[in-house]
């Protein structure tokens, strides 16, 4: 008999504001998927290790300035430079967990309230990138986030930005599909359980979803 074709992996994105617990939950999800006997990779954006990522890192730390549009396109380019490898991993059966993605990309740039940098403008360079099978949005109140420590020293880590970002995520998610809102104000384990449920449902739907799609 013919060998069974490889079932593709799932593309799972984790999004949220500062200190929502994205990285903690990505790590826990990685362990969970691994324990179920599935191949998994955990990647994050920005990927500060590439040449483009180093420009982004300098900008975020405040050691370099960039035009708002220019840095926006670099964040996007930082995703495009790994788009092919994500597609290949998914096709070969590896589930890919992504810590921040196009949604952060569009929202943080649009939150600068630059008159020529709208949410619509900011979304355009994302069109055609691998489309997540599910985007888990870790939702947390400003008060809960504050309990997890004060603002850091990077650009964007201030109240004005975070408030605008929160509103823009809402606007964007009204326009996008496959978004699961997760209450991230609970304990690490409770949040993790909710994520596992949403991800299991998504993986069960993969056959009916068909091949990996692209962002539109
Ligand atoms: N950015 C952009 O502008 N454009 C783009 O295209 C992209 C990003 C991709 C850097 O991102 C900045 O880049 C970011 C958006 C912008 N700017 N801001 N703000 P980053 O991903 O490098 O940021 P980060 O600093 O690594 O992540 P984070 O958002 O600050 O944190 P997190 O990953 O969501 O949370 P965490 O590290 O898992 O947890 C934070 C703390 O809370 C930690 O002490 C945990 O132990 C604790 N924690 C976590 N969960 C819980 C629960 N459930 N209970 C209690 N305590 C918890
Ligand atoms: Mg993080």
Specify the residue with its C-alpha closest to ligand 1, atom 3: 108
The alpha carbon torsion through 98, 103, 109, 111 (nearest 10 deg) reads -130
Specify the residue with its C-alpha closest to ligand 1, atom 4: 105
Pocket of ligand 1 from Cβ distances under 6 Å: 16, 18-24, 45-46, 60, 75, 100, 104-105, 108, 148, 156-157, 187-188, 191
Residues whose beta carbons lie less than 5 angstroms from ion ligand 2: 22-23
Q: How far apart are CA 172 and CA 22, in angstroms?
A: 19
Q: How far is CA 114 from CA 10, 40, 62, 99, 109, in A?
A: 35, 38, 19, 26, 8
From the CA of 6, how far away is ligand 2's center (Å)?
32
In this structure, are residues 25 and 195 in contact, taking their beta carbons and an 8 Å threshold? yes
pLDDT 10s digits, 117-131: 999 999 999 999 999
Assembly ipTM:
0.97
pLDDT 10s digits, 59-105: 999 999 999 999 999 999 999 999 999 999 999 999 999 999 999 99
pLDDT 10s digits, 45-66: 999 999 999 999 999 999 999 9
Residue from 13, 22, 126 whose mutation best tests the ligand 1 pocket (most atoms within 8 A of CB): 22
* pLDDT beyond 90 at 4: no
pLDDT 10s digits, 154-207: 999 999 999 999 999 999 999 999 999 999 999 999 999 999 999 999 999 999
* pLDDT beyond 80 at 5: no
Burial environment of residue 44 by CB neighbours within 10 A (0 to 12, 13 to 18, 19 or more)? middle
Domains (range + CATH), the chain: 13-206 (3.40.50.300)
């Amino acid at each position: 008999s013919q060998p069974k074709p490889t079932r593709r992996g799932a593309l799972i994105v984790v999004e949220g504001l500062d200190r929502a617990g994205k990285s903690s939950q990505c790590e826990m999800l990685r362990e969970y998927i691994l324990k179920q006997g599935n191949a998994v990779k955990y990647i994050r954006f920005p990927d500060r290790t590439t040449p483009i990522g180093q420009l982004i890192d300098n900008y975020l730390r405040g050691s370099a300035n960039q035009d708002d549009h220019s840095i926006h396109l670099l964040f996007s380019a930082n995703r495009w430079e790994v788009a092919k490898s994500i597609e290949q991993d998914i096709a070969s059966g590896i589930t890919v967990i992504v810590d921040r993605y196009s949604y952060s990309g569009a929202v943080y740039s649009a939150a600068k309230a630059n008159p020529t940098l709208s949410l619509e403008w900011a979304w355009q360079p994302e069109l055609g990138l691998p489309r997540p099978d599910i985007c888990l949005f870790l939702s947390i109140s400003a008060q809960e986030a504050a309990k997890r420590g004060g603002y850091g020293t990077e650009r964007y880590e201030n109240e004005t930005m975070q408030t605008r970002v929160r509103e823009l995520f809402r606007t964007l998610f009204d326009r996008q599909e496959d978004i699961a809102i997760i209450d991230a104000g609970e304990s690490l384990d409770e949040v993790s359980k909710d994520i596992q449920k949403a991800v299991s449902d998504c993986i069960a739907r993969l056959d009916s979803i068909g091949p990996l799609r692209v962002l539109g």
